Amino acid sequence: MLPIIGIIVLLVMVFGGFVLAGGALGPVFAAMPLELMIIGGAALGALLIGNSSHELKGVGAAFKKIFKGPSHDKQDHIDAISLTSRLMKLWRSEGPVAVEAHVQDPQNSSLFAEYPKLLANKPLVAVIADTLTLMVVSSGTLSPHAVEDVIDNALKTHFHEQHEAQHALQNLADALPALGIVAAVLGIVKTMGSIDEPPSVLGGMIGAALVGTFLGVFLAYGIVGPMASRLKQVLVQDEMIFHAVKQVIMANLHGHPQALIIESARSGLGHAVRPGLTELLDATRGK
């Protein structure tokens, strides 16, 4: 919602201020379609040149994240900590065999089924299931540090892939001012070819060329750049739930008491999604 409001405020203030200053929007709007075609076409071509189909799909999906916001709320983080705690408690009390059925087929697990929203997050489920499966097949002989290295490597790969769209958008934002200059230069070339026209005509042609420079800078710093920044914020918040799960697993492997396990996972969450310690202990107590 806020990105939409931001775009509206941006358009109203920029073009409204231009009109209040005595500017005429007619020439701007008249030149805009062709300038947008040049700048937008160049931007699209640059994206196609610089990215694979996988990254391009990620860029398309990124716009949903930008406008929708983070995927998980506070309750989801409580559920993730609770689910992982229950699996680790089952591991400690009944052994690897009791956990095996849940982690080898999470989609048909009665325990995972209690958390349908988490189950829909396939990368998160994979981190939980794959880590515990590794512990099952090793019969608990792996050191905590070895398990942590595996989790860190999985998270690093996943986060890197998630941020590819953000980097593509930021690169596009960085390129747009230069692409605007390209459009402006082409407009000046056109103007120089009509140098024998009267000043009123030449003035209109130069103004139209400068619209290209305006659009390049406006799109870069007013829309695409802020979108890339917003996407980064959303991705970082979406990563917190993975770190919480990791902390629960690692604290259990180190043999910490339950309250410390819960706090180690809770303390790494941002304030927007961080539950109170008592609230989280109540949610996990008896499970």
- Cβ(164)–Cβ(172) under 8 Å? no
Give residue 66's pLDDT band: very low, low, confident or very high (50, 70, 90).
very high
pLDDT over 90 at 131, yes or no: yes
Place 142 in a pLDDT band, splitting at 50, 70 and 90: confident
CA distance 86 to 102: 11
Span 18-30, mean pLDDT? 89
User: Looking at the predicted structure, is the pLDDT value of residue 82 above 90?
Assistant: yes
- Of the pLDDT bands very low, low, confident and very high (cuts 50, 70, 90), residue 54 is confident
Q: Where are the beta strands (DSSP E) in 96-163?
A: none
On the 0-12 / 13-18 / 19+ scale of CB atoms within 10 A, 256 is middle
Q: Quick check: 146 pLDDT over 60?
A: yes
Tell me the CA distances in angstroms from 128 to 178, 259, 274, one per residue in order: 45, 21, 20
Task: Tell me the C-alpha distance between 24 and 20, whole Å.
Answer: 9
Reported as type and span, the H/E element at residue 17 is: helix 2-20
What single letter denotes the amino acid at residue 141?
T
Residue 108 gets which letter from DSSP? G
Q: Is the pLDDT of residue 139 over 80?
A: no
Domain ranges of the chain: 27-287
- In 3D space, the residue among 278, 258, 276, 285 whose CA is nearest the CA of residue 74 turns out to be 276
According to DSSP, residue 221 is labeled I
**Dihedral (CA of 54, 58, 61, 63) sign:** negative
For 121: left if phi > 0, alpha if psi spans -120 to 50, otherwise beta; the answer is: beta
Say how many Å lie between the first and final Cα of the chain, rounded: 37
Q: Please give the average per-residue pLDDT across 26-50, as a whole number.
A: 91
Alpha-carbon gap, residue 173 to 51, rounded angstroms? 15
By C-alpha distance, which of 131, 95, 128 is closest to 111?
128
CA atoms within 13 A on the CB side of 82: 22
Long-range contacts of 187-190 (CB under 8 A, 24+ apart): 187/35, 187/211, 187/212
Per-residue model confidence (pLDDT) at position 98: 87
Q: Which pLDDT score is estimated for 163?
A: 94
Lowest mean pLDDT among 86-95, 134-143, 268-277: 134-143
Closest CA to 100 of 62, 140, 50: 140
Q: According to the model, what pLDDT value does residue 284 have?
A: 82
Q: What is the pTM of this model?
A: 0.88
Tell me what the pLDDT averaged over the chain comes to.
91
pLDDT of residue 286: 58
pLDDT digits (tens, 9 = 90+) for 240-281: 999 999 999 999 999 999 899 999 999 999 999 999 988 888
- Identify which of 198, 205, 176, 193 has the alpha carbon closest to the alpha carbon of residue 40: 176
Q: What is the pLDDT of residue 203?
A: 84
Residue 92: what pLDDT? 85
Residue 114: left (phi > 0), alpha (psi -120 to 50), or beta? alpha
Please give the pLDDT value at position 195: 84
Q: pLDDT tens, 177-236?
A: 999 999 999 988 988 888 878 887 888 888 888 999 999 999 999 999 999 999 999 999
Strand, coil or helix: what is 163? helix
Q: 144: buried, middle or exposed (CB in 10 Å: 19+, 13-18, 0-12)?
A: middle
